[in-house]
């Protein structure tokens, strides 16, 4: 298992799923006093970052439905993509003022919520970090997410495997690297996982990052915005891939950025004679047809339904005065080890897409 130490300079680091071999009970009880439980009909706050990803939109809908079904009142709010983190700070403060018993936070910037989380605790609320860890505060009770370093490892291996299959006669491969937004605690974890696979191949000469941009500060995509990825890809191609220089693959951290990168590659004519291998994540509907036709090589299935269901199971345990189940003590937010429940991600390519999405009819239909 992995230990993630978080610093202010860089962050290194409906059915339920059980992870074999590492299941345990959480040993940290909420310091807010929520272990005493709370009544049906209580307010549950859910603060989500924005609607730039299909999964965030789906998460909001699932939380509204699932919290209501569990017998509580849902207060689900999004921080606009065009606004600063202050909007989410205000939303969390509002949830606290309205007496939310639990506040679930998909952080817009996990390093800037300490004051709001502290105030929520002081008011008696429990805090669950959803999908993104909240940093440098003792006042986050639980973290629920997919294993994000594993996501990166799967992406890195997919890039290698895809290029080997698509360019069977090549001895070396030209690649470029993209990472997520610098204000997202998950972005460096994805990148770390991928580079664990890719760096040895860069070191031995199998892989060549033609631009030379291998540092996460160089590869970051502000705001996870597609236009930022496309602009950077345009610049990389114009500066490094003129003439007969072949681009074999691109590490893309998610599907939205993958499609933007593909648009840039197509405009530059670098998808001929062979389409470069492009990775992704999130199983976005717009990317599934691209995977089935080989335009995008892979994505990662992180079923939002299961992640929301696990979070609601934690809320129900807290309401009953129980300590929610956790299965990892590997996530240090800079102040404390946060009791964590991790779900396993799944790599998806054309070969296993139909099987992977068999319980998600809308996505499975796109694999036909």
Closest CA to 103 of 140, 57, 60: 140
Q: Considering only the C-alpha atoms of the chain, give the largest distance between any 2 of them, rounded to a whole number of Å.
A: 68
Instruction: Tell me: do 98 and 159 sit in the same domain.
Output: no
Compute the distance between CA of residue 255 and CA of residue 240 in angstroms, rounded to an integer: 24
Domain assignment of residue 83, yes or no: yes
What's the confidence (pLDDT) of residue 22?
A: 34
What's the confidence (pLDDT) of residue 276?
A: 98
Taking only Cα atoms into account, the Rg of the chain, rounded to an integer number of angstroms, comes to: 21
Instruction: Tell me: do 161 and 263 sit in the same domain.
Output: yes
Give the pTM: 0.81
pLDDT higher than 70, residue 227:
yes
At 35, the pLDDT band (50, 70, 90 cuts) reads low
Phi and psi for 126 in degrees, rounded to 5? -95, 150
The torsion region of residue 17 among left (phi > 0), alpha (psi -120 to 50) and beta comes to beta
At 316, the pLDDT band (50, 70, 90 cuts) reads very high
Instruction: Tell me: do 235 and 330 sit in the same domain.
Output: no
Instruction: Tell me: do 260 and 326 sit in the same domain.
Output: no
Domain range holding 86?
Answer: 24-146+303-343
Burial of 44 per CB tally in 10 Å (0-12, 13-18, 19+): buried
Domain assignment of residue 115, yes or no: yes
Instruction: Tell me: do 156 and 273 sit in the same domain.
Output: yes
Residue 179 belongs to domain with CATH number = 3.40.50.2300
Instruction: Tell me: do 100 and 209 sit in the same domain.
Output: no
Instruction: Tell me: do 314 and 327 sit in the same domain.
Output: yes
What's the confidence (pLDDT) of residue 51?
A: 83
Instruction: Tell me: do 242 and 194 sit in the same domain.
Output: yes
Q: Which two tokens stand for residue 363?
A: 């996505």
SS3 242: coil
Instruction: Tell me: do 84 and 112 sit in the same domain.
Output: yes
Number of domains in the chain: 2
User: For 257-269, what is each residue's pLDDT tens digit?
Assistant: 999 999 999 999 9
Q: Give the chain's end-to-end CA distance (angstroms, integer).
A: 37
pLDDT higher than 70, residue 343:
yes
At 17, the pLDDT band (50, 70, 90 cuts) reads very low
Domain assignment of residue 124, yes or no: yes
Instruction: Tell me: do 117 and 177 sit in the same domain.
Output: no
User: For 259-300, what is each residue's pLDDT tens digit?
Assistant: 999 999 999 999 999 999 999 999 999 999 999 999 999 999
Instruction: Tell me: do 74 and 194 sit in the same domain.
Output: no
DSSP string, 267-333: HTTTTSSSPPEE---S--GGGHHHHHTTSS--EEE--HHHHHHHHHHHHHHHHTTPPPEE-B--BB-
Domain assignment of residue 46, yes or no: yes
């Amino acid at each position: 298992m992995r230990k993630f130490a978080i610093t202010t300079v860089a962050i290194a680091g409906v059915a339920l799923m059980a992870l074999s071999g590492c299941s345990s009970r959480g040993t940290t009880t909420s310091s807010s006093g929520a272990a005493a439980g709370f009544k049906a009909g209580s307010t549950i706050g859910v603060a989500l970052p924005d609607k730039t990803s299909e999964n965030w939109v789906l998460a909001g809908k699932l939380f509204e439905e699932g919290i209501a079904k569990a017998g509580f009142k849902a207060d689900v709010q999004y921080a606009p993509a065009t606004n600063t983190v202050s909007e989410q700070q205000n939303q969390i403060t509002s949830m606290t003022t309205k007496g939310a018993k639990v506040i679930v936070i998909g952080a817009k910037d996990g390093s800037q919520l300490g004051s709001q989380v502290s105030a929520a605790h002081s008011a008696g609320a429990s805090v669950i970090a959803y999908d993104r860890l909240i940093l440098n505060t003792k006042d986050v009770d639980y973290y629920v997410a997919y294993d994000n370093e594993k996501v990166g490892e799967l992406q890195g291996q997919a890039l290698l495997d895809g290029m080997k299959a698509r360019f069977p006669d090549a001895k070396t491969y030209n690649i470029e690297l993209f990472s997520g937004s610098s204000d997202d605690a998950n972005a460096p974890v994805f990148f770390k996982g991928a580079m664990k696979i890719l760096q040895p191949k860069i070191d031995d000469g199998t892989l060549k990052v033609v631009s030379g941009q291998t540092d996460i500060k160089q590869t970051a995509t502000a705001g996870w915005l597609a236009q930022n990825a496309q602009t950077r890809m345009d610049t990389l191609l114009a500066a490094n891939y003129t003439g007969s220089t072949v681009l074999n693959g691109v590490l893309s951290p998610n599907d939205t950025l993958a499609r933007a990168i593909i648009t840039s590659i197509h405009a530059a004519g670098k998808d001929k004679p062979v389409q470069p291998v492009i990775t992704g994540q999130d199983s976005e509907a717009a990317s599934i047809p691209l995977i089935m036709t080989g335009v995008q090589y892979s994505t990662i299935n992180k079923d939002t339904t299961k992640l929301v269901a696990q979070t609601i199971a934690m809320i129900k345990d807290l309401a009953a005065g129980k300590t929610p189940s956790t299965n990892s003590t590997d996530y240090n937010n800079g102040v404390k080890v946060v009791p964590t429940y991790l779900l396993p991600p799944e790599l998806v390519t054309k070969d296993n897409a139909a099987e992977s999405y068999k319980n998600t009819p809308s996505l499975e239909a796109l694999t036909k």
